[in-house]
Structure 1
């Protein structure tokens, strides 16, 4: 988390940190402009996902996997607005992705489209491009939905007249 906070801070952005109270954690790092500590993981994960415009996931441990799969599940099931998920470090993620394809997808526990919820890359420019393109596609999709809803409302109004 420190690398992301430091990058945001040094680039002049607002660096937000969502900490968790654990006996063996060092606490929120020095690069955070606005920090919130949580007692429970579920509350922290809710905040991660609620305000996310994208997830960029770097190699990590159980907590990283927990947050990644929580986000993917919420996007997959439509419980949150779809946002791009980028996995940085193709060598690190390759074993997991092989297992997802070879076991979960092969046994129809997930579908091929579910694997398309993630972009795996080693290149920061590719990650940024993926996020920007996903945001543009989502904006266009939402605009089309608004236009459809407006047309349906207008048709319903005309039918009542």
Structure 2
């Protein structure tokens, strides 16, 4: 059955529309009615911020876990993400994900089954149908930039498992904010040396060698295969705050 989460609204069957709110906001093609409608969109954007701030303000220490929505339940990364969620809860953290399937579902599952707080920040997409069943506190956003703000504002660090463009976007967003000192003491741990080593080698051998980034930018990324090490980095960062 075809379905789609559109902010807080669930659409199914012939009620599913073909575009997203972000797409309509950013697409400059088509008729000029955007001149009249865009100012009103500000109110919807404002409402998303208000809803997000209100729902997440009392979370306490929280770590965001990112990774591919395309990871099947029998993939090794799924088991690792589930362990990450469980271990974070054991160390007193809430676990926040994008609320979707794959790695996100696994981290939420580990957190929920460990008795901790499992949070999902969903996004309106044409090919995903809402939050996974292991999310205990969930918000569906229309706008990516509002959702990104919530991840950075209410997380004390990111643990990143193998993923695609969305995962890379979230990882580099955090690194950019740290590099520009918009956030401080914000650890980013990559789990999966076989998966991430090629990217880190390119950053070092090409971007760093050509003077496009600094050595300190690379130092912000910690690469490991050890879940306990990843969680320990988050715990150590919390103790320095």
TM-score after normalising by structure 1: 0.82
Match of 1:134 in 2: 237
Superposition TM-score, scaled by structure 2 size? 0.56
Unpaired runs of 5+ in structure 1?
A: 140-161
Q: Which residue of 2 aligns with 1:47?
A: 150
Q: 1:18 aligns with which of 104, 121, 137?
A: 121
SS at match of 2:121: strand
Deviations 1:126-156 (A, max 9, x none): 11122222333x32xxxxxxxxxxxxxxxxx
Aligned twin of 1:34:
137
State the SS of the aligned residue for 2:183: coil
2:209 equivalent in structure 1: 106
1:61-120 Cα shifts (integer Å, max 9, x gaps)? 100011110011111111023211110101100110001001111111110111111111
Question: Does 1:63 find its partner at 2:166?
Answer: yes
Q: Which moved more, 1:28-37 or 1:124-133?
A: 124-133
1:77 aligns with 2:183: no
Contact 2:187–2:234 (8 Å) recurs in 1: yes
Corresponding position: 1:7 with 2:110: yes
Give the number of aligned pairs. 138
Residue 125 in structure 1 maps to residue 125 in structure 2: no
Q: What is the root-mean-square deviation in Å for CA atoms of aligned residues?
A: 1.0
Structure 2 unpaired stretches of 5+ = 1-103
